[in-house]
Amino acid sequence: MHAARPNELYAWQAARLLARRELSAVELLRACLDRIAEREPHVLAFAHLASEAALAQASALDAGTWRGPLHGLPLGVKDLFDTAAMPTTYGSPVYAGHRPAADAAAVVLCREAGAVLAGKTVTTEFAYFQPGPTRNPRNLAHTPGGSSSGSAAAVADAMLPLALGTQTAASIIRPAAFCGVVGYKPSLGRVPRAGVKSLSETMDVVGGFGRCVRDVALLGAVLTGDQRLNDEAALAAPAAPRIGLCLTPDAPQMGADSQAAWAQALRVLAPAAARMADAPWPAALPGLVALQKAVMAHEMAHALSHERTQHSAALSERLRGLFDEGMAIDGQAHVAKLQATAAARGLANAWFDDFDLLLAPSTLGEAPAGIDATGDPLFSRGWSLLGLPCVHLPFARGSRGLPVGLQVVGRWGDDHRLMAAAQWCMARLAG
C-alpha cells in the first residue's frame, strides 16, 4: 500500500513502488498535477507546464518495460537547461518562446533513466540576482531563494518529487535552505553541462533537489553515472563520520536562527560521531568570497556577451551592473585569479585528511521577507569556488517558523561518501 497522496511520497519510495508496478506513472503524475493545480496559482514555480506531453510519456512508461532508476518519477527542469519540446527562456524576455534544437545532456540522462519531464521551473534572470515570480511555499510573503527558485519551491510543496538545478554561487544550497528541502551540488565537473546556459566555466555545476537525502542520492547517481551515490547498504546503515566544524571566516554574519541550528547540530551529532572537532580555516587560503565574486563577474560578462552587447535594454540593472564589474577585469588579472583559485583548491584537500565531511552554515538564517531579492549567497560562494560537493540538510525552524538548516561539504570526487555521511547526519537531526 502507498500513501493516499502519491505526490507526497519520497522519490525513492515512489521509485520502488513504480518498479514493482504497485504504483503507475500516470497515477503518480496525476497526483502531482492535482497538487500543481491547487498550489501553482500561489507559488508560481513553473515557467512552463507540459501536462499533456508528460501524461503521454507516463502512459508509455506504464505500457513498456522498466526504464531505469527514475522510471515514472515526475521531474522539474530549471529553465536554464535546454529542452527541445518545451520553451527555454533562461529567465529572460530576450529568449521568450525560444526552442533549442536539443535537450541538455543532464535532461537526456534523466529521461533515459525513466524520468517524466513535467515542465520547466522558474529561474532568476540568467541565474543571477533578478528574481522571477516564484514565492516560498512555506510562506508566500518570503523569497524561495535563487537562482533555482522554481525547482526548490516545487519539490518543497509536493508538486514534484525531484527537480534539476544549477549552482555558480549558491543557487542550489540557498533555495534548498529557504524552502526546506535537500539540495545536492555535486563536485565540479561530475555532471555534464552541455546544453545548460553557460555562466562560469570555473564554477557552474548541475545538481538537484529532493525531500530527503536518499532522493538526491537517487538523482545524483543518474546525473553522475556513479552508482555508489545510491548504494542502498551505505545509505541504510552509514558509518559514523569524522565531522569537521567549519564556520568559515564569515561566521560573524550568521543570524540567530542559523546559530541555533548550529548549536542543535553539535548537541545531537557530537555524541555519536566518530570524531567532531573544529576544522580551522587555512591561513593560506585567499579571501574566497571576494575571489568568487570577481571570477563569476568576469566569466558571466564574457559568457553572456551576446546578451550584453545585443540586448542590453532588456536586461535588469542588477545584471548590467555585474557586466560592468566583469568587463573591468582584464584577461591578465583573470588569469591571476584562476591561479589563486587553483591554489585554493589544492589547499582545501588538507581538510579531508582529518575529516570525512565539513559541517558549515548554508545561509544567514531564514528566507527574508519579500520577493524582490533572493537572499545573500555568502555562505556558499567559497565552496562553489573550491568546486567541492555540498548537501543542504533541512532539520530546524527559525524564529518565524521558516526552515533553517546547515550544509555538509566533502572532498572533491567523494560525493558518494558525502552522501552516506549526509544520510547519517540527517537521520539523527531529523529525529
Cell numbers found for residue 409: 561539504
Mark whether 380 is an active-site residue: no
Q: Which of 78, 120, 293, 337 is catalytic?
A: 78
Q: How far apart are CA 346 and CA 155, in angstroms?
A: 35
Q: Could you tell me which of 247, 239, 260, 246 has the C-alpha nearest to residue 425?
A: 239
Contact indicator for 216, 184 with CB cutoff of 8 Å: yes
For the beta carbon of residue 283, count every other beta carbon within 10 angstroms. 6
Q: How far apart are CA 276 and CA 387, in angstroms?
A: 24
Q: Could you tell me which of 24, 103, 109 has the C-alpha nearest to residue 58?
A: 24
Q: Is 369 helix (H, G, I), strand (E, B) or coil?
A: strand
Q: Which of 171, 187, 258, 380 is catalytic?
A: 171
Q: Which of 24, 92, 120, 147 is catalytic?
A: 147
Q: How far apart are CA 28 and CA 74, in angstroms?
A: 8
- For 52-62, b where at least 16 C-beta lie within 10 A, e where not — what string? eebbebbeebb
Q: Is 386 helix (H, G, I), strand (E, B) or coil?
A: helix
Mark whether 120 is an active-site residue: no
Q: Could you tell me which of 173, 202, 207 has the C-alpha nearest to residue 192?
A: 207
Cα-to-chain-centroid distance, residue 144: 12
Mark whether 293 is an active-site residue: no
Residue 74 phi, psi (nearest 5):
-65, 135
Q: How far apart are CA 269 and CA 429, in angstroms?
A: 8
The sign one gets for the Cα dihedral 131, 223, 351, 392 is positive
Catalytic residues: 78, 147, 171
